[in-house]
Structure 1
Amino acid sequence: MAFGDYLTYWLATIAPARLKPATLNSYEGLSRLYIRPALGKKRLNWLSPADIRKFLAEFKVACLCCLRGADAARPEGKRACCAVGRCCKRLPSVRTVQYVHAVLRSALQQAIREEMIARNVARIVETPTVDRTEVRPLEAGEVRLLLRTAQAHWLYAMWLLLVSTGLRRGEVLGLTWSDIDLAAGTLRVRRNVQRIRRELLFGTPKTMRSVRTISMPKRCVLALTAHKEQQEQERKVASAKWQPAPGHPAGVVFTTVTGRVTDPRSLNRMLTVLCRDAKVRRVRVHDLRHTCASLLLAQGVDARTIMETLGHSTITMTLDTYAHVMGTTLRAAADRMEDMLGGDAPAED
């Protein structure tokens, strides 16, 4: 069997039962755009570690637009940048390279289970080293400017939550009022919402660690209380037009004026406008999650607590992601050690 035909079989029959919809959609796109054009004609049982290593090495430094130029599924007018005489040099991100390798490993591992091949050649090949982009969170002054500007925004409570609790975009939009205890000042993360092709789908969080209960600052409780009252007014004004989408949970916190869940894709556009109006540098919604972690570290909060707040699967992920912004915490630890050892250092002769 050709590897491309096997990928089609695996994505259609095996992967849907094992992968979440968003992951499956991502794997299908990576397979169609990048893996199948490069390796699809190779025989499944003839694939070698050298084939995988060469593909990943070339993919790491290839322009994504140029790679997509050979895809017959692209609509007219969406040609590759090189096809019109210039190259945008848009290289794959760290996660894209890792995902491509993950698709190869997962697909070939299933082929072993079905006794189609004897070994998983993708597992033999390490993922090519890619320089990780350094996280650039907002500073405390920039956060205050942004939130001051966001006070007039209809989703002010959401922006405050993103900065204060580090929720992911899909997690904050998946919240319902039953998940929030305003009296206790806590919220429970137990679902998320994602756009898969043309549908907004609710699902379970990223990992088991992502199902968590978070304590909120009082400012968030007050903002959510005001938001709830505002939503009730919008419901009365909309009247019969207030129609949540079929199959979606009742009582979604952050909805449109007709009661529909807010599209996750629209948040980055909203944040771009807020950053412009606040005169702070442009950031993504996910950067607010990094901002939350950085602010907590600057206040001396320990890594374990930050891990639980953000819902990271391991503390290693927390430490690796925010190692470069832990200078304040490390300085404070050194100062506390100095105090414990007796205060002032002995004078030199």
Structure 2
Amino acid sequence: MTVYDRWHKMVKQPDGTTKKVRSSEYGVGDRWQVRWRDESGSQRKRNFAKKAGQDANTCAEAFDAQITNELNRGTYIDPNAGKITVREYGENWLEAQTFDRSSYELVEIRLRLHVYPILGERELRALRPSLLQAWLRGLQKKLAPNYVRTVFAHLSALLNAAVDDGVIPKNPCHAGSVKPPRAESKKITPWSVEQVKTAAGAVARRYEVMVQAAATLGLRQGEAFGLAVEDIDLAAGVVHVRRQVKMLKDRQMLFAPPKGGKVRDVPLPESLALRLSDHQLAFPPVEITLPWRMLEGPPHSAELIFTTRLHSLINRTEFNRFVWKPTLIKAGIPTTRENGFHMLRHHFASVLLERGVSIKAVADFLGHADPGFTLRTYTHLMPSSEDRMRQVIEDAWATGRCALDVP
């Protein structure tokens, strides 16, 4: 490698000496050119207006030294590779992912609505930490902090892939100056047993046991909709949570494993087992066939315990609007987002923690992959260490006379 002067060339004179003369490119474009061969042996070149200086982006000699060093160390990345735009690379990256279909749609929506409008036409090589921080700042003005963090995580994953592909040398999202907003941790105030009973009594009769099942088994809404006869193991006294109903943005519904693929067994309370038996007598289960996750393999059939009055699959949107919201109104519970069907799952967790069930066990029953997430979400519901300490000491010392109590 070396630096060439495009505007001049050395011409041999009759007397054997050489003389610098103007080339045919004199005055056209940048004067200084760096030429090199990449790792595949292909000839590459790049022109610069300045020969000397410390900035490899503007000075030929500094760039020449940088490329030479990268080739020697095996860290070379084609300077032109990063010319692809964020949108173009992001669309290709997303198509290659193995998300289930509903997750794919969520990521696509977030990129399309919150990344591409500002960064989509930028070349990957042009992304700077300052640009990303300004983008984050703009998102924070209109979106909740936790949602901004989710969008930022998608962009960072996209750029990690670009680094792995050798398109860019490093991920600007990892720069110390790029700081997404702090996560908001809203303390959950779970429903009491009385509130759950009130909601179960206010809902349409065919959904009463479903509300009770969600509250006593910790089911997500889609898992409650997908609960089938074969999932109730009376002999073992457990419920096998192995399926959920998912709705795609085109309103198509399909069966899929529980969130994160966390199939789990939850102990079946005897009282719920009796209610489930009575429910099936009053509302016979219905065999439902749906596509399996991302349309993979043959359709999946299950004899669902909870269905609509038309003996069909429960549609999440319609249920929330025409069943759950009226139920909250009838029960005198505010119709806020916090009081969604998921509140039944929060109730389940709170009851277990209040009665001393370990955080690891609660995480397993909820299907959380990380017990730390369970702890962060529900730690404020656990009895305080101070209260436990006082009670332990009181119990231990109240059993007899203190050894130091000398008359």
Structure 1 counterpart of 2:110, from 23, 26, 30:
30
Does structure 2 conserve the Cα–Cα contact (< 8 Å) formed by 1:175 and 1:253?
yes
Q: CA deviation at 1:134?
A: 2.2
Q: Is 2:195 aligned against 1:142?
A: yes
Give the match for residue 52 of structure 1.
Answer: 132
Q: Is 2:374 aligned against 1:302?
A: no
The CA deviation string for residues 45-102 of structure 1, in whole angstroms up to 9 with x for no partner, is: 111222222212221222xxxxxxxxxxxxxxxxxxxxxxxxxxxx3351x2222012
Q: Is 2:225 aligned against 1:173?
A: yes
Give the secondary-structure state (helix, strand or coil) at the position aligned to 1:202. Answer: strand
Structure 2 counterpart of 1:321, from 368, 377, 386:
377
Larger relative strand fraction: 2
Give the secondary-structure state (helix, strand or coil) at the position aligned to 1:285. Answer: coil
Structure 2 counterpart of 1:281, from 330, 334, 347:
334
Structure 2 counterpart of 1:5, from 58, 79, 88:
88
TM-score, structure 2 length as denominator?
0.69
Does structure 1 conserve the Cα–Cα contact (< 8 Å) formed by 2:239 and 2:267?
yes
Does structure 1 conserve the Cα–Cα contact (< 8 Å) formed by 2:227 and 2:305?
yes
Give the match for residue 245 of structure 2.
Answer: 193
TM-score, structure 1 length as denominator?
0.79
The AA in structure 1 aligned to 2:125 is: N
Does structure 2 conserve the Cα–Cα contact (< 8 Å) formed by 1:175 and 1:192?
yes
The AA in structure 1 aligned to 2:170 is: R
Give the match for residue 108 of structure 1.
Answer: 159
Give the secondary-structure state (helix, strand or coil) at the position aligned to 1:207. Answer: helix
Separation in 2, partners of 1:223, 1:230: 11
Structure 2 counterpart of 1:292, from 345, 348, 357:
348
Separation in 2, partners of 1:258, 1:273: 19
Does structure 2 conserve the Cα–Cα contact (< 8 Å) formed by 1:300 and 1:329?
no
Unaligned runs of 5+ in 1: 63-90, 236-241
Separation in 1, partners of 2:389, 2:272: 30
Structure 1 segment 7-156 matched on structure 2, within 5 A: 7-11=90-94, 13-15=95-97, 18-62=98-142, 91-92=143-144, 94=146, 96-124=147-175, 125-150=178-203, 152-156=204-208
Give the secondary-structure state (helix, strand or coil) at the position aligned to 2:206. Answer: coil
The AA in structure 2 aligned to 1:14 is: A
The AA in structure 1 aligned to 2:376 is: D
Separation in 2, partners of 1:189, 1:329: 33
Give the secondary-structure state (helix, strand or coil) at the position aligned to 1:155. Answer: helix
Does structure 2 conserve the Cα–Cα contact (< 8 Å) formed by 1:163 and 1:291?
yes
Separation in 1, partners of 2:385, 2:237: 27
Structure 2 CA distance for partners of 1:131 and 1:245, relative to 1, 3 Å: closer
Larger relative helix fraction: 1
Does structure 2 conserve the Cα–Cα contact (< 8 Å) formed by 1:186 and 1:214?
yes
Separation in 2, partners of 1:178, 1:26: 31
**Structure with greater contact order relative to length (CA < 8 Å, sep ≥ 6):** 1
Q: CA deviation at 1:5?
A: 1.8
